[in-house]
Amino acid sequence: MAVKRHVAVIGAGVIGAIVAARLLADSHRVTVIEPDPPGGPHCASFGNGGFLSPASIIPMSAPNLWRKVPGMLRDPKGALTIRWRHLPALSPWLWRFLMAGRSPQRVEETARALNQLLSDAPARHRALADSIGRPEFIRNDGLIYAFHDRAAFETDAPAWNIRQRLGVRMQELGEEELRDLLPALSPLYRFAIRITDGGHCTDPGGYVSAICDWVSARGGKFHAARATGFDLSGGRLGAVQTDRGPVACDAAVIANGIRAPRLARLAGERIPLQSERGYFVQIAGTEGIANIPVMPQDGRMANIQVAGGLRASGQVELASPDARPDWRRADILLAHLRTTWPGLKINDQNVSRWMGHRPSTPDGRPVIGRASASADIIHAFGHGHIGLASAPATAEIVADLIAGRTPASEITPFAPARFRRSR
Query: Within 13 A of 119's CA, how many CA atoms are on the CB side?
Result: 14
Minimum distance, C-beta of residue 118 to ligand FAD, in the bound complex (Å): 8
242 or 374: CB nearest ligand FAD: 242
Distance of alpha carbon 323 from alpha carbon 277, whole angstroms? 10
If the CB atoms of residues 145 and 280 are measured against ligand FAD, the closer one turns out to be: 280
Which residues contribute to the site for ligand FAD (CB under 6 A)? 10-16, 33-36, 42-45, 47-51, 226-227, 255-257, 259, 278, 280, 302, 313, 356, 358-359, 381, 383-389
- Count how many Cα atoms sit within 13 Å of the Cα of residue 379 in the half-sphere of its side chain: 34
First to last CA, the chain: 41
Compute how many other C-beta atoms are within 10 angstroms of the C-beta atom of residue 390: 26
Name the minimum Å distance from CB 343 to ligand FAD: 24
Single-letter amino acid code for the residue at 59: P
- Residue number, 19 or 232, with CB nearest to ligand FAD: 19
Nearest approach in angstroms of CB 40 to ligand FAD is 7
* Smallest separation (angstroms) from ligand FAD to the CB of 253: 11
Over its C-alpha atoms, the chain yields an Rg (Å, rounded) of 21
Nearer to ligand FAD, 48 or 286 (CB): 48
Decide whether 35 or 268 has the Cβ nearer to ligand FAD: 35
CB 360 within 8 A of CB 382: yes
Q: Characterise 333 by phi-psi region: left (phi > 0), alpha (psi -120 to 50), beta (else).
A: alpha
Residue 159: CA count within 13 A, CB half-sphere: 18
Nearer to ligand FAD, 49 or 299 (CB): 49
Closest CA to 295 of 266, 337, 259: 337
Residue 2 C-beta: closest distance to ligand FAD, Å: 26
- SS3 (DSSP) at 84: helix
> Is residue 34 helix, strand or coil?
coil
Q: How far is the CB of 135 from ligand FAD (least distance, A)?
A: 19
